[in-house]
Amino acid sequence: MKYSEITKLKYLAKDEQSRTANPAIVRNSTVFFKSMQELLKHETLVRKGSKVNYYEYGRGGSQTTIALQNFITELEKAHATFLTSTGFASVALAIISICRPGDEIIVTDACYAPTRMITSKFMKEFKIKSHFYNPEEIKSLESKINRKTKMIFVENPGSNTFEFQDLNKIIKIAKKKKIITAIDNTWGTPFFIKPLKIGFDMSISSGTKYFSGHSDVMLGSLSVNKKVYEKVRSCNKLLGYRASPDDAYLVLRGLRTLDIRLKKHEENTKKIINFLKKEKKIKEILYPYKRGTQNYDNWKKYYSGSTGLFSIFIYSKNKNSVLKFVNSLRLFGIGQSWGGFESLALYQSQTIQRVYKKYIKSNHHIVRFHVGLEDPNDLINDLKQGLKKIK
């Protein structure tokens, strides 16, 4: 019998062996085998990508991490999923698995700052060159491609400035040129969009964010298709990337309510946006709410819903007043992460390092919000009192 995504979230990781709703937390290093023949046979199964209930050594994971891998693989409709200790470690694994000296990588200009760092600086030390394209212009991407291009790395929507791209056009270009594609899909999650079904080779999510939902876990996932599986598997095994079973258990528990939480984040965010769009002090809201715009159309084309992360664009000659606005908020905590139950606010203008400097101008300020699961009316009242600080 076929079940909906919502039902699958509730039942995918049931432990039939222990007859419990959740799998046990299994911590391991040494794994015992009855014979050398059994061990070698098991190693072959893992190498081929066969589904297994345990690994030959704890570095690969335990029954708990395997349960989470299988869960995310089903959500992503992937061939396999690899878990890492942080979301950014999954970004690094994707890039390091594919790119070699002499290769070039094309990256969205609106990427997460550490992604820019690893591609533009760290990989440069290994003779891997990076190019950044304007996410609002597909021609900007095409112009960067040459015979050395090995990977196109997409983040959708863009970090902090939230540009939505026409993903099918990127996939069409990449397939024609036989270029590997990866996407950071943390904002949308595989509940709202499944990048591998669109044609991406790799889909990355920071499990720290919506997968967990409770701001107490660090974990990343990299889901892949069959084409790149072996490259990622061998690199992952060699480098020893691994998520702890305790964190995997917490993410499994969080995933059970992913659908309910995302819908509430979306509902609350829409109410916040409807309030903010009437505020004269806010020049622009960077979120796909305005019909007929390129961002809205591209979001609507690929996503079945939206989440709680967005930015507002403020014009003010008084930077301190914008900082006072952020500091005065009582229900929006000041913190680096997002995707949890609580609302957050962060002044971001100083952190955006981009070649495409549309928003980096004098007296332009970006404040990023994550709308949590609080009463939206309380959040609106908090914003009302805070906005009075802006001059």
Question: What pLDDT does residue 233 have?
Answer: 93
Residue 71, exposed/middle/buried by CB under 10 A (0-12, 13-18, 19+)? buried
The span from the CA of 160 to the CA of 158, in Å, is: 6
Average pLDDT over residues 314-341: 95
β-strand 149-155 against 180-184: which pairing, if any? Answer: parallel
For 288-307, how does the pLDDT look when each residue is reduced to its tens digit (9 = 90+)? 999 999 999 999 999 999 99
Q: Which residue has the higher pLDDT, 390 or 53?
A: 390
Residue in this structure with the two tokens 């890492």, named with its chain if needed: 84
The span from the CA of 68 to the CA of 86, in Å, is: 15
Give the pair of three-digit tokens for residue 301: 């084309």
The three-point CA angle 327-379-260 to 5° equals 125
Which architecture does CATH list for 5-255? 3-Layer(aba) Sandwich (3.40)
Average pLDDT over residues 77-93: 97
pTM: 0.94
Asked if omega into 157 is within 30° of 0 (cis), the reply is yes
- Give whole-number Cα distances, 67 to 53, 82, 301, 334, 363, in Å: 9, 12, 32, 34, 49
| Beta pairing partners, 285 | 312
φ, ψ at 107 (rounded to 5°): -125, 140
The span from the CA of 150 to the CA of 145, in Å, is: 9
- Does domain 258-387 fall under CATH 3.90.1150.10? My reply is yes
| Beta pairing partners, 344 | 333, 370
How many Cα neighbours within 13 Å face the side chain of 134?
Answer: 10
Question: What pLDDT does residue 50 have?
Answer: 80
The span from the CA of 353 to the CA of 344, in Å, is: 21
- Kindly tell me if the per-residue pLDDT of 352 is higher than 80: no
Question: What pLDDT does residue 84 have?
Answer: 97
For 116-166, how does the pLDDT look when each residue is reduced to its tens digit (9 = 90+)? 999 999 999 999 999 999 999 999 999 999 999 999 999 999 999 999 999
Domain boundaries, the chain: 5-255, 258-387
Tell me the pLDDT band of 355, cut-offs 50, 70 and 90.
Answer: low
Cα–chain-centroid distance for residue 33?
A: 37
